[in-house]
C-alpha cells in the first residue's frame, strides 16, 4: 500500500526553511512521540539525538499526507533508522515502547515538572533532582534552596502561566500593549511576533517587537512602557536586559542563544473583561489572569532581522541559520546577514529570503 508516492517524496526538502509547514500537522501521532524524545534529550542535555529527532519531527510536520505505511519513509530527508523504527512501532502497536519508558521515568517526569516553572532551566531542575527533591512543595520547604526573583514569580503565578494562552487572549494582550505604547511613545511601532504571528491557536507567551524611527531612542522605549504598565497596576513582574549591542562586533562565529537587543521578560495582569468571549481562562471571582509577555526593541535598521529571528519556530530558525552557513557560506542571526565580511542590508523579511536565495515563507508557513 504505497500512500506516499515517489513524486511526493521528491518534493520534501532537507531544510525546514525550504518547506511550508502550517499548524495543520497531519502526522501528530508520530511527532508527539518524537517530541517526547526531543524533550528527554533536551532535559538531559544530550545534543546529538535531540538535533536528529527534532529534524525528523519537523520533516513529518511538513508532509501534506499522513503516513500510513512504511513505504516511502526511507526516502524522507532527516528520517533515520531510529525514527523509522518508532514510526513502525506506532503504526503496528499504536505506541512506542521507548517513548512509554521515558514517560514513566521518574527523572524525566520530575525535570519536566520543574522546568515548567518560569525561570527554571534544565540545570537548576537537575540540581534540585540530584538533591532528592521531587515536588514543588519539597522545593518550597527546603531551607537550602535559594529561588531567584524570576523563579519566585514563576511559583507565585504557576497556575496561570502553566495554562498557556489562547489566540483571543493574545489579541487582548496586543490591545493592552498597543495602548500603552501609544501613550508613552506615540511615534513608536509595536508588532506581534513569535508563535501567535505564525497563527498558532495556543502559546506560552505573547511576543512583540517595538521600534522607533528615531535612532538611539529604542533603548529608552522598554523602560517607558514598563513604567506605564506599572502605573496601570498591570505589571506583575519584569526582567529588563538593556541593549549590549555593539554592531562592530558582529559577525560573531559563536552561535548566540540570546541577542544583544534591549528586551524584557514580563508577567502582566490581563483583565477578563478585555478578552473577547468573556475570557473563560480567567479564574472566577478574581477577574484577571497572569500572562507572560516578551518585548524586544531593536534599532529600526535591524527590524527585519529581529522579526525573522523572533517569529520562529525554533526549528525553522535553526535551519535558516544552518542553510545560510552550509549552503551559502553566509552568517545569519537575529542582528544581521553577512556574506563573508559584507553586511547584507534588509528592510523586510522578504529581502533576507532573497539574499539567501530562498523562496519567501509566510509566517504561518514557518511552524516547523
Catalytic residue among 126, 160, 207, 333: 207
CB of 151 to ligand CTP, least distance (A): 18
Q: Which does 169 bind (CB under 5 to 8 A by kind): Mn ion, ligand CTP, none?
A: none
Q: Measured between alpha carbons, how far is 90 from 79 in angstroms, rounded to an integer?
A: 15
Contact pattern from residue 199 through residue 228 relative to Mn ion, giving x for each residue in contact according to CB under 5 A and a dash for the rest: -----xx-x---------------------
Report if residue 39 touches Mn ion, rule: CB under 5 A.
Answer: no
* DSSP letter (8 states) at residue 288: E
Per-residue cell: 54: 527534532
Residue 347 CA to residue 29 CA, distance in Å, equals 40
Q: Would you give the DSSP letter of residue 201?
A: S
In degrees and rounded to multiples of 5, residue 265 shows phi and psi of: -105, 120
- Closest distance to Mn ion from the beta carbon of 193 (Å): 8
Contact status: 169 vs Mn ion (CB under 5 A)? no
φ/ψ of residue 238, rounded to 5: -145, 140
In the bound state with ligand CTP, the residue whose beta carbon lies nearer, of 4 and 315, is 315
Site for Mn ion contains 349 (CB under 5 A)? no
Q: How many residues sit close enough to Mn ion to count as binding (CB under 5 A)?
A: 6
319 is catalytic: no
Binding site annotation covers 294?
yes
Applying CB under 5 A, among 119, 154, 194, 299 the residue interacting with Mn ion is: 194
> Residue 274 in contact with residue 166, Cβ under 8 Å?
no
Supply the minimum distance, in Å, between the C-beta of residue 64 and ligand CTP.
Answer: 22
Active site residue 205: yes
Asked if 33 and 99 count as a contact pair (C-beta separation under 8 A), the reply is yes
Nearest residue to 265 via CA among 140, 147, 151, 116: 151
Residue whose CB is less far from ligand CTP, 129 or 202: 202
Q: Is 332 helix (H, G, I), strand (E, B) or coil?
A: strand
Q: Catalytic residue among 160, 205, 259, 319, which? A: 205
207 has catalytic annotation: yes
The residue ranges that bind ligand CTP (CB under 6 A) are 194-195, 203-205, 207, 258-259, 294, 309-310, 312-314, 317, 334
In the complex, the smallest distance separating the C-beta of residue 35 from ligand CTP, rounded to whole angstroms, is 13
Per annotation, catalytic residue among 126, 144, 160, 294 = 294
Neighbouring CB atoms inside 10 A of 175's CB total 12
* DSSP per-residue letters across 201-254: SEES-EEEEEE-SSTTTHHHHHHHHHHHHHHTT-EEEEEEE-----GGG-S-SS
Per-residue cell: 25? 500537522
- 207 annotated as a binding-site residue: yes
144 is an annotated ligand-binding site residue: no
**Residue 287: CB partners within 8 Å, gap ≥ 6?**
271, 272, 273
**Contact status, residue 301 vs residue 307, Cβ threshold 8 Å:** no
22 vs 365: CA distance, rounded Å: 5
DSSP-derived letter for residue 46 is -
Q: How far is the CB of 333 from ligand CTP (least distance, A)?
A: 9
Binders in 61-120 for Mn ion, by CB under 5 A: none
Give every CB contact of residue 230 below 8 A, 6+ residues apart in sequence.
none
Minimal distance in Å, beta carbon 195 to Mn ion?
A: 5
Q: Which is nearer to ligand CTP, 257 or 341 (CB)?
A: 257
Q: Which is nearer to ligand CTP, 59 or 332 (CB)?
A: 332
Sign of CA dihedral 88, 91, 96, 99: positive
Which of Mn ion, ligand CTP, none does residue 101 bind (CB under 5 to 8 Å by kind)? none
Binding partner at 317 among Mn ion, ligand CTP, none, C-beta below 5 to 8 Å by kind = ligand CTP
Residues that bind Mn ion (CB under 5 A): 194-195, 204-205, 207, 294
Active-site positions read 205, 207, 294
Q: Which residues are annotated as a binding site?
A: 205, 207, 294
Amino acid at each position: 500500500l504505497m500512500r506516499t508516492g515517489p513524486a511526493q517524496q521528491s518534493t520534501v526538502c532537507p531544510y525546514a526553511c525550504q518547506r511550508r509547514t502550517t499548524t495543520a500537522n497531519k502526522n501528530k501521532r508520530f511527532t508527539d512521540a518524537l517530541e517526547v524524545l526531543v524533550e528527554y534529550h533536551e532535559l538531559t542535555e544530550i545534543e546529538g539525538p535531540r538535533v536528529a529527532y527534532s529534524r525528523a519531527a519537523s520533516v513529518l510536520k511538513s508532509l501534506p499526507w499522513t503516513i500510513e505505511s512504511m513505504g516511502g519513509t526511507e526516502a524522507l530527508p532527516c528520517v533515520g533508522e531510529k525514527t523509522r523504527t518508532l514510526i513502525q512501532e506506532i503504526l503496528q502497536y499504536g505506541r512506542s515502547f521507548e517513548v512509554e519508558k521515558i514517560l514513566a521515568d521518574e527523572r524525566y517526569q520530575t525535570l519536566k515538572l520543574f522546568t515548567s516553572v518560569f525561570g527554571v532551566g534544565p540545570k537548576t531542575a537537575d540540581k534540585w533532582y540530584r538533591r532528592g527533591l521531587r515536588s514543588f512543595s519539597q522545593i518550597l520547604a527546603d531551607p537550602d534552596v535559594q529561588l531567584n526573583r524570576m523563579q519566585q514569580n514563576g511559583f507565585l503565578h504557576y497556575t496561570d502561566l502553566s495554562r498557556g494562552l489562547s489566540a483571543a487572549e493574545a489579541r487582548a494582550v496586543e490591545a493592552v500593549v498597543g495602548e500603552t505604547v501609544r501613550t508613552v511613545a506615540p511615534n513608536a511601532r509595536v508588532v506581534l511576533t513569535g508563535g501567535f504571528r505564525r497563527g498558532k491557536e495556543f502559546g506560552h507567551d505573547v511576543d512583540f517587537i517595538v521600534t522607533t524611527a528615531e535612532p538611539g531612542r529604542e533603548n529608552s522605549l522598554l523602560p517607558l512602557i514598563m513604567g506605564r504598565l506599572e502605573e496601570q497596576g498591570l505589571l506583575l513582574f519584569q526582567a529588563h536586559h538593556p541593549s549590549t549591542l555593539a554592531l562592530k562586533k558582529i559577525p560573531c562565529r559563536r552561535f548566540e542563544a540570546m541577542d544583544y537587543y534591549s528586551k524584557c521578560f514580563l508577567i502582566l495582569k490581563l483583565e477578563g473583561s478585555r478578552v473577547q468571549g468573556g475570557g473563560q481562562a480567567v479564574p472566577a471571582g478574581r477577574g484577571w489572569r497572569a500572562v507572560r509577555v516578551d518585548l524586544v526593541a531593536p534599532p529600526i535598521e535591524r527590524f527585519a532581522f529581529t522579526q525573522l529571528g523572533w517569529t520562529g519556530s525554533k526549528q525553522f530558525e535553526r535551519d535558516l541559520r544552518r542553510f545560510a552557513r552550509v549552503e551559502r557560506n553566509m552568517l545569519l542571526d537575529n542582528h544581521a546577514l553577512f556574506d563573508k565580511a559584507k553586511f547584507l542590508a534588509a528592510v523586510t523579511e522578504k529581502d533576507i529570503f532573497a539574499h539567501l536565495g530562498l523562496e519567501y515563507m509566510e509566517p504561518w508557513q514557518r511552524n516547523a
